[in-house]
Chain A
Amino acid sequence: MFLKKSMIRFLTKFSVVFASLFLLSSNLALAAWGLNMTQGVTPISQDVYNMHMTSLYVVTIIGILVFSVMFWSIFQHRKSKGVKPAKFSHSTTVEIIWTLIPFAIIVALAIPATKLLARMDDTSKSEITIKATGYQWKWKYDYIDEDITIYSNLAADSVDASQKNSGIDPKTADNYLRNTDTALVLPVGKKIRIMTTASDVIHAWWVPDLGWKRDAIPGFINDNWTVINKEGVYRGQCAEICGKGHGYMPIVVKAVPEKEYTAWVQETKVALNSKQDSGDKVLSMDDLKSKGAAVFKANCQACHQANGQGIKGVFPAIDGSPLANLKENIPAHIHQVIYGKGIMPAFGEQLSDTDIASVITFTRNNWGNKTGDIIQPKDVLASRKK
């Protein structure tokens, strides 16, 4: 036997270190350090996790074997040990064997992967249908069967803390950058079909606990499904670069029991209806400005910036712009917010008349803009009717 004791000891140590590193990364996944993929809360996410672990085990074992041979060689076959180099340069048998073995391994991996993919692809027999639409930078959710539409923006405390040199510790914000003002509420135990699409650029809808992500592409609708088994709040975020606010469009799914879900649907319908008939209210300048400031932060600030200066060459300034200062441009200003222009999205369907009136009043009476103009919800309504 040419196996030396020292070599055996080395190999044992090497495998122990390697194996423990590997175990650390799989079994002892400390929550705070987030070492491994989540097992998730759906049957599919569990399968995906298992497939991930299988392939991780396979490559780790191959890695240990291959690198052990290599390091054995590095330690044994070195010139300083006085060895004479061998002369062999090929061996057809060996080469055929080590072509066939990897081939067999990948076939063994491909079979369960194919089955899993087929299960993921089957969106039939779903009970609830949601359409998720990506905007720069927020998500819109349409409950197709319920006639409910909600918008989901980054939560206000995260917006504040995420400003450059804000001086606010991100730890103080509730789930920093992973919290929204409105969550997507879903019932547990039902098969839910989630369609993804986008209005401007490509986004991707991803909640790791559901086990998949899918691109949201303007002009196309992608079909997906999930069954959430456990109540809870599951967080994710946009996963396809979509411009400046890419890191700031989180996704929050709130899974609740079916009863609670039905109640939520009723409440939301009532709330949305009451929002629509705001057209006849008359509000004071202060009310409009304070409400407008909040609307601005959630919808406008990402492009036009907190100081209203925009970004030169991409996003125009509001501060000092003719559109937001000249009296004769008031109708044009309202029109642009409702219907959008160029890469600016149309806010008409996202915001109520009161929201639009207040944000326009706010922008015309903030920073250097001191027009004194007051826009009322009825002005917005009038513009919509044209």
Chain B
Amino acid sequence: MYLVFSLIMFFIGGSMAMIIRAELFQPGLQFVDPQFYNSMVTVHALVMIFGAVMPAGVGLANWMIPIMIGAPDMALPRMNNMSFWIMPFAFALLLSTLFMDGGGPAGGWTMYPPLVLQTGKAFPFLIFAVHFLGISSIMGAINIIATVFNMRAPGMTLMRMPLFVWTWVITAFLLIASLPVLAGAVTMLLTDKYFGTSFFSAAGGGDPVLFQHIFWFFGHPEVYILALPAFGIISQIIPTFARKPLFGYASMVYATASIAILSFFVWAHHMFTVGLPINGELFFMYATMLIAVPTGVKVFNWIATMWKGAMTFEAPMLFALAFVVLFTIGGFSGLMLGITPVDFQYHDTYFVVAHFHYVLLTGAIFALMASAYYWLPKWTGNMYDEKLGKIHFWASAISANVLFFPQHFLGLAGMPRRIPDYSVQFADFNMISSLGGFAYGISQLLFVYIVVKCVLGGKKATGQVWDGARGLEWTLSSPPPYHSFSKPPKVTKALMEY
């Protein structure tokens, strides 16, 4: 359910991205008004973050965590049900604003006041949609924590849990800690607009920058809410196809936890240009650069896992390898952005756009694609079409780079983000980027075809599916029975090892 929903949202958000790239294909205004363009930029981000990547992560967690830890199902099924059904209504609220007078929210997904307070009738819909999505995610997170801490099979000690489970437990804590902060911030916006408060209005003694502090206190952990499950997925897939245990399991767990903790101390690197005192800027610069260390440890561990393995390159492995390279490139630009004095040039340009799309699209979404191919045979009992899967991979990997790599150059050359039209010196790279965008959009249709074909039939999969796979999920039949483990299995050290 979650996964189908997030795939639908992926295509809704994707079609907005297509509108954006179509408008930016050439200088001059051809298709949409600037106001509508801004609302596309805003809603694309909200749909992709809250509608595509987060539900996909929760969906994988709901399906795989019980199987991976030897439980019959999630701990709190009713809560799970509610957490899911809130989302279609939340997105109905959000997307309906596009058809209202004054159009959808157009102040950017970051909702900075005072601009966001100029939103027309869409404003309360935006706020309540964000509230509902927050509630839904918090319930999902509670469920995951309850499941993992109460329902592990005998012998499944914490330090034997698959890394995907570990990263999700940490993510769940991030969700619970950060989403209420967002809820507080948007509620303050609501009262500022309708009830005469002035939390964020300087004229009333408030501070517009306060919102940015609160928002990014949520916003930066949110980045890792999207990225940590992806780290978990990659840590499952690489050992499977390298036929070798994950290198440095314990340091992986510690690195994940330290990234999560550090993520609460770096929020102001999104706002270096607001005029912070120099000591504040230095603190956030140091903390931000520090995150490169545990992230680097993870990348080194993945490569050490490949080292001297016996690798094969099925679609999940291809996506996982592309993830390692492209996410690392996104990490490099992240390190550059973290250096405050230079960020004064990079900030709010296409360099930033390129950076977070490398981290989120070729990072988080590539990991989700990898996980889909990895577990599809387990879910459906049928093998997917490997040849088409490989075509999908190469098409996605090449077009995503054509799409986003030139945006680094655009940003360095001085093109700000969130503009519907640009000076003619930016024309060439924008055209290349748009062509990459269209190619990427079209190649994702192939993914839908592959999934549907796999669900309908295909070569029967064995329980083991991949010969290098280890862990409880592969001891079950494909597809697994309705209640995965009705009798808790006995987990021994040997089961998880090579």
Contact = CB atoms under 8 A, between A and B. Distances in A.
A280 to B, nearest CB: 36
Contacts of B209: 217, 220
A314 B325 contact: no
Given A35-B412, A202-B114, A245 B34 contact: yes
B35 A239 contact: no
Interface in B259-301: 273-275, 278, 281-282, 285-286, 289-290, 292-293, 296-297, 299-301
A70 interface: yes
B180 interface: no
A78 B289 contact: no
B127 interface: no
B150 interface: no
Given A110-B286, A202-B112, A74 B311 contact: yes
Nearest to B244: A85
Interface in B319-359: 321, 324-325, 328-329, 332-333, 335-336, 339-342, 344-345, 347-349
Contacts of B311: 73-74, 77-79
Interface string B419-438: 11111111011000000000
Contact of A242 (B33, B115, B201, B290): B115
B177 interface: no
A254 B293 CA distance: 44
Contacts of A166: 28-29
Given A78-B311, A164-B29, A244-B35, A106 B248 contact: no
Contacts of B416: 206, 237-239, 247
Contacts of B296: 98-99, 102
Contacts of A217: 202, 208-209, 274-275
Contact of A77 (B27, B308, B333, B423): B308
A161 interface: yes
B102 interface: yes
A204 interface: yes
Interface in B299-317: 299-301, 303-304, 306-313
A312 B100 CA distance: 9
Interface string B196-237: 000001110001110000000000000000000000000000
B245 A247 contact: no
Interface stretch (A9-17, A141-149, A174-182, A355-363): A174-182
B273 A215 contact: yes
Contact of A56 (B336, B409, B428): B336
Interface string A159-181: 00111111011110001111000
Interface in A90-122: 90-91, 94-95, 98-99, 102-103, 106, 109-110, 113-114, 116-118, 120-121
A65 B480 CA distance: 43
Interface stretch (A47-55, A268-276, A285-293, A323-331): A47-55
Contacts of B332: 59, 62-63
Nearest to A168: B28
B28 A239 contact: no
A109 B251 CA distance: 25
Contacts of B118: 201, 243, 314, 343
A36 interface: yes
A158 B430 CA distance: 19
B336 A55 contact: yes
A117 B339 CA distance: 9
B325 A247 contact: no
A241 B115 contact: yes
Contact of A218 (B202, B290, B342): B202
A86 B309 contact: yes
B250 interface: yes
A11 to B, nearest CB: 15
Contact of B339 (A99, A102, A109, A240): A109
B412 A241 contact: no
A106 B247 contact: no
A32 interface: yes
B96 interface: no
A223 B278 CA distance: 12
Given A89-B245, A206-B416, A215 B310 contact: no
Interface in B348-385: 348-349
B335 A59 contact: yes
A160 to B, nearest CB: 11
Interface string A9-34: 00000000000000001000000111
B100 A313 contact: yes
B490 interface: no
24 contacts: A34-B429, A48-B341, A59-B335, A63-B332, A66-B299, A67-B328, A70-B324, A77-B307, A85-B310, A89-B248, A99-B296, A102-B292, A118-B278, A164-B33, A165-B29, A201-B118, A208-B414, A217-B274, A218-B202, A220-B209, A241-B107, A241-B112, A313-B101, A314-B120
- Sorted nearest first, the 10 A-B pairs with minimum C-beta distance are A219-B202, A313-B102, A313-B101, A34-B413, A247-B419, A222-B275, A59-B332, A212-B344, A86-B308, A313-B120
Given A246-B34, A314-B101, A314-B103, 9 more contacts: A55-B339, A63-B329, A74-B321, A95-B300, A110-B285, A218-B208, A220-B275, A244-B38, A247-B419
Interface of A: 25, 32-38, 47-48, 51-52, 55-56, 59, 62-63, 66-67, 69-70, 73-74, 77-80, 83-91, 94-95, 98-99, 102-103, 106, 109-110, 113-114, 116-118, 120-121, 161-166, 168-171, 175-178, 200-202, 204, 206, 208, 211-215, 217-220, 222-223, 236-248, 311-314, 343
Interface of B: 27-30, 32-35, 38, 41, 100-103, 106-108, 112, 114-115, 118, 120-121, 201-203, 207-209, 242-251, 273-275, 278, 281-282, 285-286, 289-290, 292-293, 296-297, 299-301, 303-304, 306-313, 321, 324-325, 328-329, 332-333, 335-336, 339-342, 344-345, 347-349, 409-410, 412-414, 416-426, 428-429, 498
